[in-house]
Amino acid sequence: MKYDLQDLIAMAAAARDKAYAPYSHFRVGAALLTAGGRVYTGCNIENASYGLTVCAERVALFQAVAAGEREFTALAVVGGDLEACFPCGACRQVLAEFAPDLEVITGRPGGSIHRRRLKELLPDTFTLK
């Protein structure tokens, strides 16, 4: 199936509704598109020990990797009522392990969309190469 940008934003928004954010009350959803056309979603999951909180982008990525996926083309992120909610630095680094040229899309359903390449958001990725 082929997805357009608004489809991915809508899927990220639906994932955001499942977020567990009792401390920050800032709910985030992500939708990760694979090269094969599958979409994996994730939401942020907070913990009373704040350092153990996991971002929506990593939840989506980890689900995809656990299912055997390794190639990704786009990631949509929707956070709170923000017009643009790009991934945090930790998520950027984890995503870059698999897809340094990933298209990152953020916005709100029916609203404006912001697009960047992951390599623009994290130009000097850490690598062991």
90: Cβ–Cβ under 8 A, 6 or more apart, which residues? 55, 58
Report CA 101 to chain centroid distance, whole Å: 14
Q: Is 13 annotated as a binding residue?
A: no
The catalytic position among 57, 69, 71, 97 is 57
The reply to whether 24 sits in an annotated binding site is no
Whether residue 83 is annotated as binding a ligand: the answer is no
CA distances from 29 to 15, 100, 124, 128 (A): 5, 21, 26, 30
Ligand-binding annotation for 49, yes or no, is yes
69 is in an annotated binding site: no
Q: Is residue 57 among the annotated active site residues? A: yes
Q: Is residue 55 part of an annotated ligand binding site? A: yes
Known binding residue 46? Answer is: yes
Calpha distance 70→61 (Å, rounded): 9
* Nearest one of 102, 81, 97 to 28, comparing CA atoms: 81
Is 12 assigned to a binding site? no
Cα(54)–Cα(127) distance, rounded to whole angstroms? 22
Annotated binding-site members for Zn(2+): 55, 88, 91
Residues with a catalytic annotation lie at 57
Annotated binding-site members: 44-50, 55, 88, 91
